[in-house]
Amino acid sequence: MAYLVQVQRGIDFIEANLRRPIEPRDVTRAAGMSHWHYQRIFKALTGDTLAAYIRHRRLAGAAAALRVGEQPILEIALAAGFGSQAAFSRAFKAVYAMPPGAYRAAEHPGPVLPKVTLDLEALRHLYLNLNRQPRLRREPERVLVGLRTAFDGTRKNELGTSLPVLWEAFLARASAVAGRVDDDHGYGAMATDPQDPTRLWYLAGVEVAADAPVPSEMARVVVPAATYARFEHRGPAVAVDHTVSFAYGTWLTQVGMRHTGGPDLEIYDARFRPEAFDSAFDFALPVVRETVP
């Protein structure tokens, strides 16, 4: 419940400041959550990125202004945070399929994006077919070696579309990794880039001994020991965002736990068969019980 309250607090902040410049970091600060975790949970709950939602709500306010009164379009554009009427017109047409002037003149221009209000019943309805519980398991510290990359964590389905290429590159060089602990598991580890909270780093690799060498152009990551909530992802790996959205947007908002801030893990074993319909692997969140003040 605490996560729901905090996400709603951020949404209320957006609504109260639509006529002022709003940066996503302003919203996450108002919500009292880390920038990355707020954006992850927000996208899981709403299906939209935070930046896109702010833009759509500004345009919704502009659409309402176009429908009442005769305020000049330039004034509406500036009030919505656009630097010019041309920029406003392009953005407006992309969402409403017509320029502002035509929208004002249309007899039935269509609905605008409403403010999101979150509640548990809405979430249960939204994720009715995904109502499952993870396995809570204490995982030891692991040392992983593999190929590492960074990417924009605010874009939709970035995991599913960007990472297969990284895995292909790693698997082609996996034989160069010495000191492997076992040959039965592969790991994808990801966390916020400490230099830029809007970006993630991701490592595709295997577990090795603590003193194992790191091959050229590869990286080493130490994953701290933690309790992990392990969700089984079934089906194509490119659809893993659905499982991630459920884990962050439904389960984590309701169970009295919080994310530790450590790396998330993808855990691959014999269940993972890329070409098979019943392929599966685990997506795991590091969690701790929320403390009651």
The residue among 56 and 124 whose pLDDT is bigger is: 56
Interior CA angle at 174 toward 173 and 180, to 5°? 150
Averaged pLDDT score across all residues of the chain: 82
Mean pLDDT over 128-140 rounds to 74
Question: pLDDT over 90 for what percent of the chain?
Answer: 34
- What average pLDDT does the segment 190-207 reach? 83
Domain covering 2-105 in this structure, CATH number: 1.10.10.60
**Beta strands 186-193; 264-268: pairing state:** antiparallel
Neighbour-count burial for 159-180, b at 16+ CB within 10 Å, e otherwise? bbeebeebbeebeeebeebeee
Which range among 115-119, 132-136, 138-142 has the greatest average pLDDT? 138-142
CA R_g for the chain: 22
- Residue 189: its pLDDT value, please? 95
Strand partners, 223: 142
pLDDT-derived band at 133 (thresholds 50, 70, 90) equals confident
Residue 196: what are its φ and ψ, rounded to 5°? -155, 100
How sure is the predictor about 209, in pLDDT bands with cuts at 50, 70 and 90? Answer: very high
Determine the Cα–Cα distance for residues 98 and 104; give it in Å rounded to an integer. 10
From CA 266, how far away is CA 286, in angstroms rounded? 12
Do 135-289 and 2-105 fall under one CATH topology?
Answer: no
3-class DSSP string for the chain: CHHHHHHHHHHHHHHHCCCCCCCHHHHHHHHCCCHHHHHHHHHHHHCCCHHHHHHHHHHHHHHHHHHCCCCCHHHHHHHCCCCCHHHHHHHHHHHHCCCHHHHHHCCCCCCCCCCCCCCHHHHHHHCHHHCCCCEEEEECCEEEEEEEEEEECCCCCHHHHHHHHHHHHHHHHHHHCCCECCCCCEEEEEEEECCEEEEEEEEEEEEECCCCCCCCCCEEEEECCEEEEEEEEECCHHHHHHHHHHHHHHHCCCCCEEECCCCEEEEECCCCCCCCCCCEEEEEEEEEECCCC
Tens of pLDDT, residue by residue over 236-289, are 777 777 788 778 877 887 777 888 888 999 999 999 987 677 788 999 999 988
Mean pLDDT of 5-23: 86
Domain ranges of the chain: 2-105, 135-289
First to last CA, the chain: 15
CB atoms within 10 A of CB 215: 17
Structure tokens at 165: 């290429």
**Which pair of tokens denotes residue 216?**
């050229």
User: What pLDDT is stored for residue 56 in this prediction?
Assistant: 83
Q: To 10 degrees, what angle do helices 35-46 and 24-31 make? A: 90
CATH class for the region spanning 135-289 = alpha beta
What is the per-residue pLDDT for 221?
96
